[in-house]
Chain A
Amino acid sequence: MSDSATPVTEPKPGTSRRTFLKVLGAAGATTAAIGCSSETGEKLIPYLVHPDETVPGVSNYYASTCRECAVGCGVLLEVRDGRTFKVEGNPDHPLNRGALCSRGQASVQGLYNPDRYRQPMLRKNGALSPISWAQAITLLTQQLTSVQSSGKAGSALFINQHETGSFPGLLDTWLSGYGIPAHLSYAALAEGGVIAANKQSYGVAWPSLDFTAAKLVVSFGADFLETWGANVPQQLSFADARAKGADAPRVIYVGPRRSLTGMNADQWIACKPGSELAIANALADSGSVAQAAQASDVPVAKLQALAAEIAAGVPSLFLAGGSYEVALAVNGLNQKFGNVGRSVLTAKPIESFEGMSSDAELTDAIEKMRAGQVPLLLVRGANPVFTSPKSAKVAEAMAKVAFKVSFSSYPDETAELCDLVLPDSHAIESWGDAQSLPGVISLQQPGMDPVYDTRATADVLLAVAKAIPAQAGAHPTTNYREYLISRYPGGTTAFTSALIKGIGNGALSGERAKKGTAATTRSAANIEGTSGDMYLVVYPSPLLEDGSGANKPWLQEIPDPVTKVCWQTVVEMGTSAAARLAIDAGDVLKVETPSGSITAPAYIYPGLRGDTIAIAFGRGHTGYGRYAANVGVNPGDLLPVAFDAKSGSMAWTSTKVKVTKTGDFIPLVSTEGSARQHGRGIAQAIEAHELGIVPTPAEAEKEGTGEEHLPGDASHAFLPGLRAPVAQDAQGNLPSDDNKKGMYDPNHWSGMAKRRWAMTVDLARCTGCSACVTACYAENNIATVGAIHQSTATANLNGQAGANILRGREMAWIRLERYFEGGETLDDSFETRFVPMMCQQCGNAPCEPVCPVYATYHSPDGLNVQVYNRCVGTRYCSNNCPYKVRYFNWFGYGEPSRPQYAWPEKMNWQLNPDVTVRGKGVMEKCTFCVQRIRESEHRAKLEGRAVQPDEFTTSCAQACPSNAIIFGDAADPAWSVAKAIEDRRAYHVFEELNTFTAVVYLKKVNHSVAAGA
């Protein structure tokens, strides 16, 4: 050992007491000197050749494109020392304007996923075993040439994930070289019916939507804040519209289940599944309201009121989800009321959905496989074994294919059945491009070298082409980057300069022909023809989408925005149905159809009709890595293979089910305590018409305490968060004695107290999407605690995913609280309010005086600081916190040697180097991203200036696709937050406790009264 430490031996048996004490003394001294040091032989590994433009410990940002869904938002990859550790929205990208959804942010957990394929694999004796890339490419080349020479190439098949950009074109050129037909561009659970109807009505697959141009929005099951279309741009526009206060659109949601989008609506019309068409027709005057009311089981008066509201002729916007016919009827409504070109921007289409294959085409291909006609199957980025209904029997059909190749990065259900796996590099490791908007090319560049021995599929295709002399001519470029440059308008120079912002102008030449969705005639799904006692609604989970998010622990752990359940699949059941069938939350239900059955606990949800149950799609994987496998159940097991007749899109609400109580009980893995506010005033709202009421001076005088009793007024009588802990009064005035003020004096030499960090959260904008929660996990090294391997030692749900959450051990520093208002009488009139709840940074914090070791204290710049290394884990602070925003490390989530370690190898590469990883027995909480505050101070000092207004923001505010969160210095009027706290809707949560919080909420604005009424 090179250190000065003398090795200490244990006292041997029989050692005299005197000797033992000597050794003990020596050991004690050594422990004092060395034992406390964490590492004794840590290495510092330098670069071999220092890369340009990098400074150790300083982040570089690379503009790229998100490939987590077909939309293709612009992202910035934060890279430090060769590792990408955070993905944020690109503020310069016209599509998402700096915002990013949870799925996009969680892409780093796909990149560092511990269960990724690490090299090419070949099936030998029934199991996949590693081979080299040279072998793999030779094998693929052999297969291709033999299929070609056998003359069966026309039946070979390539299934690719649906994406825009250059790759689909390259792929088709490559395939045609072997006589293989054009690939299937597949996206599971996509809105195929809507796309086909849009093509028919507008001539584009997906128009941009401008919610700000509408005064009335009616959604027929279109979940535009979740998985319907381009959710981030839609949410940005929706939030901008809702922020308009009294001029904001009133939103009505028509559908059997009140989704997250439905919760953001002012009115819910709970129609029977499959009856949306009747209502849309009635509104378009092509059917009678009475008939629609009968078909949909909605009171006639309600539909008449809806019809009258629409007929009033205010600028409106109609949206539909699901079937082609409903979408076509609803598009007709838009045309009839003049919304096309006003709120439906067909001239600015979102091109991400062009050229998508229909589910029917995939099913045809599967039937060909089953018939033994397919000699070679290649799959990339799609997982049809999981995403197709079990009754489609995809795995059986695949077994009839002679040779199956997967380009999957992860061991998903489809890849596990393949003979050869050529793992694709992650989007963060590879080049690419996308065309999401006309005239805008979005570039994708790698943020780092591949984590494992993987290769971008495009590069593999080019390498294979090079190995066959006959093909080489068609592919002159040696790698995909060169290929992209060769196609880029303006060549190398333009490409390189466009990379800086990640976007360039122009259209990609020779893009894959924009084909319309094939007009197929299918036997339509006939929901009434199926037997059962309840309707089944299957919807893609807002976080896990088609199940591809299930291997990312953030997305598993962040509670579903509607149910607040995580790591679990639940059967959602309406309040009235639960009362009728005597079912309680957690009662295990058996759900049966002729196709199959599942068992899952019941979740009682007021936003569901009494004759309907709903199950989220996305969990229930049998493979796909440690975070996905054996977590939840797959509702696809219940579904028949049924289609939307005109578009060939899979019908996800297509069957009735039989529901029975098994008598078992499984506790719900929920993060919520109560769904009701119990008069606590946590989430406050006002009506739109109350916004304009201004108290006269006489009224204000009469109340004595100012404006606070009038609706819509600022109810805080003091400046938020400006109170220092040593203030002598509620106004935050400091004592006159300098010694008592200390560092809290704004004139103190350190100057810290000149700033007051504060935050506003606009509840009129917040939609409850939970992107802020993901952003917080990503920024602050927050451990996920619900995975199966972390759950072993926990009683109650022993060994199952989410066991720690069940015991209240989740660590989310910011959580989305969801409260229901009204609807206690089992009707559909309830209202939902969302409150992002993080540490309120109280100026008079209850947590601070109870800490026996001063581990939490108030910093002069207004933060409630948690000093992790001081904390001894008494948890007094958490007990005393009225907001319950302090989180305790019950296990060593941050310690690699513990079974509960949250970042198994390579996942730890995502850790933010600026934030301490907390150990066992330590309390942690939100500190307004103090690392970002200090970084900005460092940067400003380095550049010899002061921190500029709005120069930086917290991670949650940065990510928010609703722009609901504003952070900054409330003491400096130049910051946006200083203006925002003056809003008349401002209030503090639990103001009556005199906590003087630095977080100000702006009341939600409801539009209960019909526009123009």
Chain B
Amino acid sequence: MDRFRGAMTIRKKWAVLPGFVLLTVIAAIASAYTGAQQQQQPTVAPDTAPGALPSARATNKAPDTVIVNRGEWGYWGGSTPQGRSPEQPIAFPHPRHVQTLGMNCLYCHFAANKAMDPGLPAVNTCMGCHTVVTAQRPATDGLPARTSEGIEKLTTYWKNKQPIPWVRVHKVPDYVQFPHMRHVNAGVTCQTCHGQVQQMNRVYQYAPLNMGWCINCHIGNVNPAWKARYDCSTCHY
């Protein structure tokens, strides 16, 4: 009898495998279905109530600006996908500003070395130069005259007292706390995570921004000098 019972157990164990396969298939179908539904949902514009002083951080965390297209599965979401390159309201040429003019990243992203957030330039930071460097440039210094569509848009935003609705490229999920200043001050260059932004006429997501990619660097695989804590509560709380 004992032997027989043992055989039954083994047979039951074997039955588990097809069961899991079946469950996985059902899960895949359900996820595909909700995924398809999600894709068709319109995005909701963020709240830009005049009372609030909106900012990068506010749009990061305050749920009034979060776009609700979360399905039953994975409502918290993950990071934005690698290679993502959304169209921006103004086609901001990083190469012109960084390579041609030699501007430092921290001129605009002023908080990257002192705060969790890198800081997004206020419109008046742009206008600091573009009050002089205007949309219409006459032919000077051997360069032809040109009209800049981007600067024209910028000036329009400024005149209308409207902030520029930049589309976010990189985003880690809400449950990840990424302190920019710790990385920048440890000597991790902007390019390590963001790629050669100075060469990007349209910014795209260079890194996968998944946890394996984070940990790979934290354990010192990228640069032994950058070895850092990888305890869960370092980033997740």
- Which A residues are within 8 Å of any B CB, using their own CB? 1-5, 7-10, 23-24, 27-28, 30-31, 33-51, 55-58, 80-83, 448-452, 743, 749-750, 752, 857, 859-860, 863, 865, 867-870, 892, 894-897, 903, 905-906, 908-909, 911, 913-917, 919-920, 927, 930-931, 934, 938, 941-942
Q: Which residues of A contact B53 (CB under 8 A)?
A: 47, 51, 81-83, 448-449
Apart from A46-B123, A869-B76, A908-B63, 6 more pairs, CB < 8 Å: A2-B167, A40-B69, A42-B65, A48-B122, A750-B229, A919-B75
Chain A nearest CB from B159 CB (Å) reads 11
B66, B77, B232: the one within 8 Å of A867 (CB): B232
CA distance A907 to B195 in the complex (A): 38
B64 touches A43 (CB 8 A): no
18 CB-based A-B contacts, threshold 8 Å: A28-B35, A37-B81, A39-B77, A40-B86, A42-B59, A43-B59, A46-B120, A46-B123, A50-B125, A51-B53, A56-B57, A82-B52, A83-B58, A865-B237, A868-B236, A892-B75, A920-B75, A942-B114
Report the bound CA distance from A919 to B75 in whole Å. 8
Contact flag A930-B237 (CB < 8 Å), given A27-B35, A56-B117, A57-B117: yes
Give the chain A neighbours of B173 by CB distance below 8 A.
38, 869
- Bound CA–CA A2/B165 (angstroms): 15
Contacting residues, chain A, for B74 (C-beta < 8 A) = 35-36
B51 touches A452 (CB 8 A): yes
**Which of B15-23, B143-151, B177-185 participates in binding chain A?**
B177-185
> How many whole Å from B128's CB to the nearest CB in chain A?
11
Query: In this assembly, does B192 line the interface, its C-beta being within 8 Å of a C-beta of chain A?
Result: no
- B118 vs chain A, min Cβ distance (A): 8
- B115 smallest CB distance to A (angstroms): 4
Alpha-carbon distance A45/B65, docked complex (angstroms) = 10
A894 to B61, CA, bound (A): 12
If A2-B167, A40-B43 touch, whether A449 touches B51 (CB-CB below 8 Å) is yes
Least CB separation from B235: chain A residue: A934
On whether the beta carbons of A81 and B163 are closer than 8 Å, the reply is no
Beta-carbon contact of B45 and A43 below 8 Å: yes
A859 x B231 contact (CB < 8 A):
yes
Contact with A along B1-36 (1 / 0, CB 8 A): 000000000000000000000000000110111111
Q: A41 touching B117 by the CB < 8 A rule? A: no
A36 to chain B: closest residue by CB: B78
Q: Which residue of B lies closest to A25 (CB)?
A: B32
The answer to whether A896 and B68 touch (CB under 8 A), given A46-B123, A867-B236, is yes
A9 x B123 contact (CB < 8 A): no
**Cα(A57)–Cα(B62), bound, Å:** 12
Q: Which of chain A's residues have a CB closer than 8 A to the CB of B125?
A: 50
A529→B185 CA distance, assembly (Å)? 78
CB distance A47 to B55 under 8 Å?
A: yes
Closest to A23 in B: B32
Determine whether the beta carbon of A913 is less than 8 Å from that of B164. Answer: no
From B35, B48, B163, B167, A8 is in contact (CB under 8 Å) with B35
Contact A42 B171 (CB under 8 A): yes
Residues on the A chain within 8 Å of B77, using CB: 36-39
Asked if B29 and A24 make an inter-chain contact with CB atoms under 8 angstroms apart, the answer reads yes
Interface residues of B (CB under 8 A from A): 28-29, 31-36, 38-40, 43, 45-46, 48, 51-71, 74-81, 83-87, 111, 114-117, 119-125, 158, 161-168, 171, 173-177, 179, 181-182, 185, 227-229, 231-234, 236-237
| Cβ–Cβ contact A31 & B31, under 8 A | yes
Task: Find chain B residues with CB under 8 A from A931 CB.
Answer: 177, 237
8 Å CB contact of A938 from B51, B61, B181:
B181
Q: Are A31 and B32 in contact (CB under 8 A)?
A: yes
**Closest CB in chain A relative to B113 CB, distance in Å:** 9
Q: Decide: B56 and A56 in contact? CB cutoff 8 A.
A: yes
Bound CA span A870–B233, Å: 12
Q: Complex: how many Å from CA A802 to CA B227?
A: 49
A778 to chain B, nearest CB (A): 15
Contact at A37–B80, with CB atoms within 8 Å? Answer: yes
Query: Assuming A927-B237, A941-B182, A942-B181, is B39 touching A749 (CB within 8 A)?
Result: no
| Cα A938 to Cα B171 with chains together (Å) | 21
Q: Are A31 and B51 in contact (CB under 8 A)?
A: no
Q: Are A82 and B115 in contact (CB under 8 A)?
A: no
Are A911 and B63 CB-contacts (below 8 A) given A3-B84, A46-B164, A752-B229? Answer: yes
Looking at A9, A38, A58, A930, the one whose CB has the most chain B CB atoms below 10 A away is A38
CB distance from B95 to the nearest CB of A (A): 21
With a CB–CB cut-off of 8 A, which chain A residues contact B117? 56-57
Pick from A10, A57, A865, A896: contact of B66, CB below 8 A: A896
> In the complex, what distance in Å separates the CA atom of A55 from the CA atom of B71?
34
Q: How far is the CB of B76 from chain A (nearest CB, A)?
A: 6
User: Are the C-beta atoms of B123 and A7 separated by less than 8 Å?
Assistant: no
Q: Could you tell me if B31 and A45 are in contact, using CB atoms closer than 8 angstroms?
A: no
Choose from A5, A45, A869 the contact partner of B175 (Cβ within 8 Å): A869
A80 touches B57 (CB 8 A): yes
Could you tell me the distance between the alpha carbons of A49 and B77 in the complex, rounded to whole angstroms?
33
Cα separation A48 to B125 with both chains bound (whole Å): 9
Q: Is the CB of B80 within 8 A of A56?
A: no
A contact residues around B61 at 8 Å (CB): 911, 913, 917
Nearest chain A CB to B123 CB, angstrom units: 5
CB nearest neighbor in A for B186: A941
| Chain B contacts for A934, CB-based, 8 A | 177, 233-234, 237
In whole angstroms, what is the CA distance A31 to B77 when docked?
A: 11
**Are B62 and A859 closer than 8 Å at their CB atoms?**
no
Collect the chain B residues with CB atoms within 8 Å of residue A867's CB.
Answer: 232-233, 236
What residues of A have a CB within 8 angstroms of the CB of B171 in the complex? Answer: 37-39, 42
Does A56 lie within 8 Å of B62, measured CB to CB?
no
**What is the minimal beta-carbon distance from B73 to any residue of chain A, in angstroms?**
8
Contact A38 B78, CB 8 Å, known A56-B119, A897-B68, A909-B52? yes
Pairs A-B, 9 closest by C-beta atoms:
A38-B77, A82-B53, A27-B32, A31-B35, A57-B117, A35-B35, A50-B122, A47-B122, A57-B116
B63 touches A857 (CB 8 A): no
**Contact B81–A8 (Cβ < 8 Å):** no
> Which residues of the partner chain A approach B83 to less than 8 Å between Cβ atoms?
4
From A31, A750, A892, A909, give the contact of B62 (CB < 8 A).
A909
Distance between A50 CB and nearest chain B CB, rounded to angstroms: 4
Given the contacts A39-B66, A55-B111, A938-B181, A44 and B56 also touching, CB distance less than 8 Å:
yes
